[in-house]
Amino acid sequence: MAVMIVCICHRVSDRDIARAARQGCASFDELQEQLRVGTACGACGDCARDTFDAERGGTSCAAAAGTWIAMQFAPKSAPQAAAA
């Protein structure tokens, strides 16, 4: 399985988050203390939290990350046609 970098600012991957969850990280706040994920620009916060929650819930973290990627790169809207 490919590794996805969740937090670019602190170079934290989905595997880092999964490992922390497996090793007993009890909350997202604790995850932030350990890995600093989401503590700089904050852009990764939702993805990091979803990945952490999915891992703690026993669901594949890759599924959460894949959903996040799909949302980030989905077309926002069709371009408006120029008025003639």
Contact stretch for ligand FES (CB under 6 A) within 4-12, 21-29, 57-65, 74-82: 4-12
Number of residues binding to ligand FES, judged by CB under 6 A: 12
CA distances for 72 relative to 25, 44, 76, angstroms: 27, 11, 9
The nearer residue to ligand FES, 51 or 56, going by C-beta atoms, is: 51
Q: How far is CA 54 from the centre of its chain?
A: 10
* Complex with ligand FES: residue 17 or 21, whichever CB lies closer: 17
- 3 exposed, middle or buried (CB, 10 Å; 0-12, 13-18, 19+)? exposed
Going by C-alpha positions, the residue among 84, 49, 41 that lies closest to residue 67 is 49
41 lines the binding site for ligand FES (CB under 6 A):
yes
Single residue of 25, 35, 38, 55 touching ligand FES by CB under 6 A: 38
Residues that bind ligand FES (CB under 6 A): 7-10, 37-44
